[in-house]
Structure 1
């Protein structure tokens, strides 16, 4: 079994030093709910985790520069087959390790941020569409829309009812922050914007998913703006989101809403060429 207390201590120290969390939500959910799926190599000052094809290597800042990361990589990087590893913050040391093991830079994920001090546009009116907070009987519809919206993105698209419930069991979950767009006449769920509040000061555009059958009705902008107004009402100082660096249409939408990207707010994925799957952290705009 993984020593969760030790992993959390090292991860917290790395986040404080680097300004970015070294483990994503999916990794934590696996550690907490499906520990049997996690292969681990844990040292007193660092660890490596392998969950399927996803590799994480984290070294306590106080122990860096001693070859610990290289040793963990030598143990944990599979000799063959697909593997994916994220560098949260695009660290030069991660690039060196990746090259040593034949892994190439395959994706860049941008963090874009928006200060709440910038006024928000008024909410657009979409005839025949109602946006409301999540209700318990929406679960199956949200999973269905998510699967259709992210059919080309296995990580997010694979969310089932069990995974939805795991996320909703987290301390940050607020039903009012999971905004659902429904057809006013039929009640059919057309899309959703799941917001997240990390702290009193920080919110996130967590997932925006639109049913392919409802594309072209302006739901992306409507749901995104509704979520931003919700987070502003909670008093956050800043809202962030994640977007693929090559998703020009989404970047244009977010830029028009006041989001900006700084070069050091970039996460890089390394993997074996032609063996990497692709996924988005946020939605189908």
Structure 2
């Protein structure tokens, strides 16, 4: 049985020291809902988790530079075969550890941020498109659009109905924060923007998914803007989002809406094939 309280304490201490959470949402969902799928190496000094090929490793900030990360990596990383690991915040120690274990830099995920003090443009009108709140009957359509929109995305594209329900069971879920764009008058779901409120001051553009068949109709900007209006209407001071560093079209949309990226706000995936 994993000591989730200990894992949480170490993760919280690392986040406070580093400015970035060491474990992503998928890892926490697996720990809480599918613990049998997680191989764990947990000690007071640090934690290593292996979910399939995905490695997460964190050392308590007060106990770093003592070989804890090296020891955990030696235990958790298989001698051969594919492994993937994220460094949340492009941490130098993670970079060095990855090099020692033969993992190469493979992907970069940008965090972009937007202060709510920057004025938002009004929502544009789109012919035959309506944006409304999520309804329970939309679940299968949202999963279908998500699968099509993120077919090449190894994490988000795998969301099924069970995973959707897991996410909706989280404390932060608000049905009013999941906006869907539908074709009028057919009612077909063309895209969605799932927002997240982390705290009274911080919101997130959590997922924006557009059906490939509806590309070119301005839905990405429309839904992103609708979600921003929702979050700012709830009083957040800042909105963040995550985007692949090579996704130029999405970065252009987000930049046009006032989001900016700082080099230090970069997450890096290391991989061994």
User: TM-score normalised by the shorter chain: which range applies?
Assistant: over 0.9
Deviation at 1:154, TM superposition (A): 2.8
TM-score, normalization by structure 1: 0.95
Deviation at 1:243, TM superposition (A): 0.6
Alpha-carbon deviation of 1:64? 0.5
Aligned-residue offset at 1:130: 0.5
For residues 87-133 of structure 1, the C-alpha deviation after alignment (integer angstroms, 9 at most, x for no partner) is 11111111111010110010111000000000001111101001000
* 5+ long unaligned stretches in structure 2: none
Post-superposition shift, 1:86? 0.7
Q: Distance in 1 between matches of 2:201 and 2:154?
A: 31
Residue 226 of structure 1 is matched in structure 2 by 226
1:184 alignment counterpart: 184
- For residues 249 and 75 of structure 1, the distance between their equivalents in structure 2, rounded to whole angstroms, comes to 41
Whole-angstrom CA distance in 2 between matches of 1:202 and 1:165: 23
Distance 1:243 1:147 in 2: 17
Give the corresponding residue for 1:169.
169
**Cα distance in 2, alignment partners of residues 168 and 151 from structure 1:** 22
Structure 2 partner of 1:6:
6
Q: Which runs of 5+ in 1 are unaligned?
A: 276-285
- Aligned-pair distance for 1:38? 0.2
For 1:124-161, what per-residue CA distance to the aligned partner results, in whole angstroms no more than 9, with x for missing partners? 11010010000111101101111111111131111111
Q: Please report how far the alpha carbon of residue 248 of structure 1 lies from its aligned counterpart in structure 2 after TM superposition.
A: 1.3
Question: What SS class does the counterpart of residue 196 from structure 2 fall into?
Answer: strand
Matches within 5 A, 1:242-257: 242-257=242-257
TM-score, scaled relative to structure 2: 0.99
Q: Which residue of 2 aligns with 1:21?
A: 21
Deviations 1:230-260 (A, max 9, x none): 0010000000000111111111111111000
After TM superposition, list the pairs within 5 Å mapping 1:66-145 onto structure 2: 66-145=66-145
Q: Distance in 2 between matches of 1:124 and 1:80?
A: 53
Q: Which residue of structure 1 aligns with residue 65 of structure 2?
A: 65
CA distance in 2, matches of 1:91, 1:142: 35
Q: Alignment partner of 1:154: what SS?
A: coil
Q: Distance in 1 between matches of 2:243 and 2:149?
A: 15
Question: CA RMSD, aligned part only?
Answer: 0.7
How many residue pairs were aligned?
273
What is the CA–CA distance in structure 2 between the aligned matches of 1:51 and 1:261, rounded to whole Å? 30
For each residue in 1:33-85, what CA deviation from the matched residue of structure 2 results, as whole angstroms up to 9, or x when unmatched?
A: 00000001111120100000110111110111111001000111111111111
| Alpha-carbon separation, structure 2, partners of 1:92 and 1:152 | 29
1:162, distance to aligned residue in structure 2 (A)? 0.6
5 Å-filtered alignment, 1:153-168, equals 153-168=153-168
The 2-side partners of 1:3 and 1:183 are apart by 47
